[in-house]
Chains A and B, each alone.
Chain A
Amino acid sequence: MDELELLKKDWVKSDDKFERKSTAQLYPMLLKKSSSIVKTLFYISIAELVFWVAINTIPFLMSDAYRAKHEEMYTSNMFIILSLLSYAIILLFVYLLYRSHKSISVTDNAKKLMQNILKTRKIIKYYVLYNLVLASVSMILAFIYTSSHDPLLAEKIDHFTNKQYIAMIGMFMLVTIVFVAVIWLFYKLLYGILLRRLNRNYKELKKIEV
């Protein structure tokens, strides 16, 4: 006899073997909080948006010098356009995230549900990537700006030998790379753990279709 047929025979009979829950036990279960990966992804995306917006705003609110520098920079049209563009990009990400979260439905078929969750994860990934690129570019620009505009630093750099100059650039690049790498690794790990099962199951489903 086919193994599964034997199992099926028992499976059908197993209905009365479960500890049935009464309606009184079921009601409180509706009020409990979900711990699904979609909910976690949702919180991560909110945290992402807040984190990067905060990174860009806090120095502005905290430091007078930074604010003064900012105001000085705002006289340039180029800077205003760049700022508007960056806000537009944030709004675009908010919209994309909202849309993709809305598209996740537990009543879709298994494959579609997985694809929609992975799509949301991709949007968060692009948002992080965008911010990392932006942060690196800002760090480089700030470095160039400070080394030529800050009188104290500019004078020091003037006295640097070639070797010292290269060492300084090297150090700066290293710091930038480490900063980007640490954040990137953190995300890899975070999503790796969170979506390990989903990725494995999605691969398995894809394999069936090959």
Chain B
Amino acid sequence: MSKPLEQNFVELLEQHQNIVHKVCRLYTNNYDAHNDLFQEITIQLWKAFPKFRGDSKFSTWMYRVGLNTAITLYRKSKRTINTQQFDTVQFKISAEEYDSTEEDQLKLLYNAVHQLNDIEKALVFLYLEDKNYKEISETMGITEVNARVKMNRVKTKLRTILNP
């Protein structure tokens, strides 16, 4: 007997939840907002799930729904009180892997990415997720050439933010 739709969905989401966490990491900067966006993406995924035909990978499908929710559908959480800084809560940085210079550099980099606009963040996200330009262009609805050009501009922008 096939699994009920709900169970099937939750199991898949549980397996691939890091994709959602990563979208939230780029588009929010505190714990509450992270969970709020996670919640909204989960609802959107669940609503769209009956139409998921499995002709693409579940993860690929999640990238699209996750990014669309973050860029277009999501209305920012009302709970915007920034009581806890994101990195100290959602991330468990262990003592042994802590390398202060690289850690500092990464922190600056993440800060720089946070200063990009929503579309630029989406391009960075797909790039970090090792998507090729064809996939990036299909997810965003732009041409491959333009995705490439924009990506180069984003890299330049990041460099400018880091070395003003």
Q: CB distance B91 to A17 under 8 Å?
A: yes
Tell me how far the C-beta of A158 lies from the nearest C-beta in chain B, rounded to whole angstroms: 58
Tell me how far the C-beta of A198 lies from the nearest C-beta in chain B, rounded to whole angstroms: 6
- Identify A19's interface contact among B64, B90, B118, CB under 8 A: B90
In the complex, which residues of chain B have a beta carbon less than 8 angstroms from the beta carbon of A40? 75
In the complex, which residues of chain A have a beta carbon less than 8 angstroms from the beta carbon of B39? 29, 32
Q: CB distance A110 to B17 under 8 Å?
A: no
A119 within 8 Å of B by Cβ? no
* A109-B141 contact given A14-B22, A18-B21, CB 8 Å threshold: yes
A26 within 8 Å of B by Cβ? yes
Q: CB distance B90 to A34 under 8 Å?
A: no
Q: CB distance B40 to A34 under 8 Å?
A: yes
In the complex, which residues of chain B have a beta carbon less than 8 angstroms from the beta carbon of A4? 124, 127-128, 155, 158
In the complex, which residues of chain B have a beta carbon less than 8 angstroms from the beta carbon of A117? 72
Which candidate, A55-63, A135-143, A200-208, is the interface stretch facing chain B? A200-208
Query: Which size class do A's interface residues fall under?
Result: 35 or more
Interface of B is mostly: helix
B59 within 8 Å of A by Cβ? no
B96 within 8 Å of A by Cβ? no
A64 within 8 Å of B by Cβ? no
A110 to B18, CA, bound (A): 21
Q: CB distance A109 to B119 under 8 Å?
A: no
- Identify A7's interface contact among B14, B106, B141, B143, CB under 8 A: B106
A197 to B25, CA, bound (A): 18
**What string of 1s and 0s marks CB contacts (under 8 Å) between A161-199 and chain B?**
000000000000000000000000000000000100110
A209 within 8 Å of B by Cβ? yes
Q: CB distance A109 to B139 under 8 Å?
A: yes
Closest B residue by C-beta to A194: B75
Closest A residue by C-beta to B159: A3
- Identify A6's interface contact among B42, B46, B72, B105, CB under 8 A: B105
Tell me how far the C-beta of B85 lies from the nearest C-beta in chain A, rounded to whole angstroms: 15
In the complex, which residues of chain B have a beta carbon less than 8 angstroms from the beta carbon of A19? 90
Tell me how far the C-beta of B20 lies from the nearest C-beta in chain A, rounded to whole angstroms: 9
B51 within 8 Å of A by Cβ? yes
**What string of 1s and 0s marks CB contacts (under 8 Å) between B85-110 and chain A?**
00000111100000000000110011
In the complex, which residues of chain B have a beta carbon less than 8 angstroms from the beta carbon of A76? none
Q: CB distance A198 to B106 under 8 Å?
A: no
Tell me how far the C-beta of B51 lies from the nearest C-beta in chain A, rounded to whole angstroms: 7
Q: CB distance B10 to A8 under 8 Å?
A: no
Q: CB distance A36 to B61 under 8 Å?
A: no
- Identify A29's interface contact among B42, B61, B68, B113, CB under 8 A: B42
* A107-B64 contact given A26-B14, A112-B141, A205-B141, CB 8 Å threshold: yes
A-B contact pairs, 20 of them (CB 8 A): A3-B109, A4-B155, A7-B109, A11-B128, A14-B22, A18-B17, A18-B18, A29-B39, A34-B44, A35-B75, A37-B74, A40-B75, A106-B73, A107-B64, A110-B67, A110-B122, A204-B120, A205-B140, A208-B119, A208-B150
Question: Taking beta carbons and an 8 Å cutoff, which residues of A are in contact with B?
Answer: 2-4, 6-8, 10-11, 14-15, 17-23, 26-27, 29-30, 32-38, 40, 105-114, 117, 194, 197-198, 200-201, 204-205, 208-209
Question: Taking beta carbons and an 8 Å cutoff, which residues of B are in contact with A?
Answer: 6, 9-11, 13-14, 17-18, 21-22, 25, 38-40, 42-44, 46-48, 51-52, 61, 64-65, 67-69, 71-76, 90-93, 105-106, 109-110, 112-113, 117-120, 122, 124, 127-130, 138-143, 146-147, 149-150, 155, 158-159, 162
